[in-house]
Structure 1
Amino acid sequence: MAITPLPPAPGADEHVSLSLINSIVTLPSGQQADELGSPEQATRWLISHGLVPEHTSLLAYCQNQLTGLRGHLRSLFAAHVAGTTPPQHALDAVNRTLTKVPSAPLLRYHPTTGLWREPEHPVTQLVEHAMAQVAEDAAGLLTSSTSAQIARCDAPPCNRFLLRTHARRHWCSTRCGDRVRAARSYARRQIGAPAS
């Protein structure tokens, strides 16, 4: 399902791994909205996050690799938030992603623009390189001093993750917070309403 992109959850602008795991969300209607729902959408997502060059065009195989990484990262983040042991298959998959490709982009030179760095690989390796960067960000975040701030949105059925910037932050967006407050207000009015 195509959606208007939600505002990024707190921390997603700084951590591409949060942005990836939040690229699928369960809406109040119960439907899932997926920013990586097609190879074209996955390509746009990678380009918009500066992980692949503008001219990249993903195939379904590459899209499936990216959504697979997203699933494994969601499992790791969910286990972290719940304080449970992460699934071994998810740890193994992320570690394979971290070690599959060299992380260093190549150094290039042009007489008019000077030196720059860029990854230069076939499309599948570009995606693997991008996935390694996302996995590195996730590993860094999950082992950092801010890992205790990782939380899940408290507005069911939303299943996005966020970094709590302060203890009172419970929702990934104003939209989710407003929905919860409206539901609470409605419930209070129903309790106080006379029986008919």
Structure 2
Amino acid sequence: MERWLALELVSTIRHDGDGGVADDLATAQGATHWIRAQRDLLAGHVPAVPVGELVADENLRLGIVELRQAVRALFARVVSPAPPSPADAHRLMPADQAMAHLNTAAAREPVAPQLDWPAEGAPAARLLSMENDPYVRLLAALARAAIDFLSGPERAQLRSCTAPRCVRYFVKSHGRQEWCKPSCGNRARAARHYSRQRAAADGGSVPS
């Protein structure tokens, strides 16, 4: 299954398996673990930053969290008029503020395209950074990844999972997909079955 860095960022808010919501970025240690887990996805965006050695401090953690808030607000705009993820539907950042924050974060790292053309191989472009601070470069890379996603073709397939207790966004991979993963589908079908049984037992109309 294809992975997108922007989707991985918003998915740091997730169902905790016990009826609540977990935040993988709740601590600097958690942020460090998440950054290192995204090493392969980040490699194409921040090639000169030693992601495997990066240790998040509280300022970096807060920077990633605020960027996540902006991206989740824009994801909610994408899926509208369908409901957004229930994890933060009641406290979404305004869309214009979210877009401004995303663009500002991306602009903090001055970059220039460079042509790389090995003697035996095809030419390719890479980005040369003029920024020395690895924290700034990481936040800018996350912002660029979100901009790439939101302006790309995958945006049209973005959905908010409607299964009970799920708070995830996902990219729809086939025409009939309704939930982010099979377990959510099983839970949604079970909830529907229970609802029909309860309606029938109460003598009311049976929902479809």
The alignment's TM-score, normalised by the length of structure 1, stands at 0.75
Unaligned 5+ runs, structure 1? 1-9, 106-116
1:26 positional shift = 4.2
Aligned to 1:186: 194
Of 23, 37, 47 in structure 1, the residue corresponding to residue 12 of structure 2 is 23
Of 65, 72, 75 in structure 1, the residue corresponding to residue 73 of structure 2 is 75
Query: Is 131-140 or 73-82 further displaced after alignment?
Result: 131-140
Give the alignment's Cα RMSD to 1 decimal. 2.9
**Distance verdict in 2 for CA 1:119–1:31, change over 3 Å:** farther
After the TM superposition, which residues 109-188 of structure 1 pair with which residues of structure 2 at under 5 Å, given as runs? 125-188=133-196
AA at the equivalent of 2:165: P
Aligned to 1:114: none
Query: Is 22-31 or 75-84 further displaced after alignment?
Result: 22-31
Of 13, 23, 40 in structure 2, the residue corresponding to residue 34 of structure 1 is 23
Aligned to 1:63: 61
1:72 positional shift = 0.5
Of 91, 102, 106 in structure 2, the residue corresponding to residue 98 of structure 1 is 106
Unaligned 5+ runs, structure 2? 43-49, 83-93, 114-126, 204-208
Query: What percent identity do the matched residue pairs reach?
Result: 29
Tell me if the contact between 2:106 and 2:144 (Cα under 8 Å) persists in the aligned partners. Answer: yes
Tell me if the contact between 1:94 and 1:135 (Cα under 8 Å) persists in the aligned partners. Answer: yes
The alignment's TM-score, normalised by the length of structure 2, stands at 0.71
1:91 positional shift = 0.6
1:154 positional shift = 1.4
Tell me if the contact between 1:120 and 1:126 (Cα under 8 Å) persists in the aligned partners. Answer: no
Tell me if the contact between 1:150 and 1:164 (Cα under 8 Å) persists in the aligned partners. Answer: yes
Tell me if the contact between 1:25 and 1:158 (Cα under 8 Å) persists in the aligned partners. Answer: yes
Tell me if the contact between 1:23 and 1:36 (Cα under 8 Å) persists in the aligned partners. Answer: yes
Aligned to 1:111: none
1:29 positional shift = 5.0
Tell me if the contact between 1:36 and 1:63 (Cα under 8 Å) persists in the aligned partners. Answer: yes
**What do residues 128-151 of structure 1 show as CA deviations (whole Å, max 9, x unaligned)?**
222222221221121122321011
Secondary structure at the counterpart of residue 167 of structure 1:
coil
Structure number with the bigger relative contact order (C-alpha 8 A, sep ≥ 6) is 1
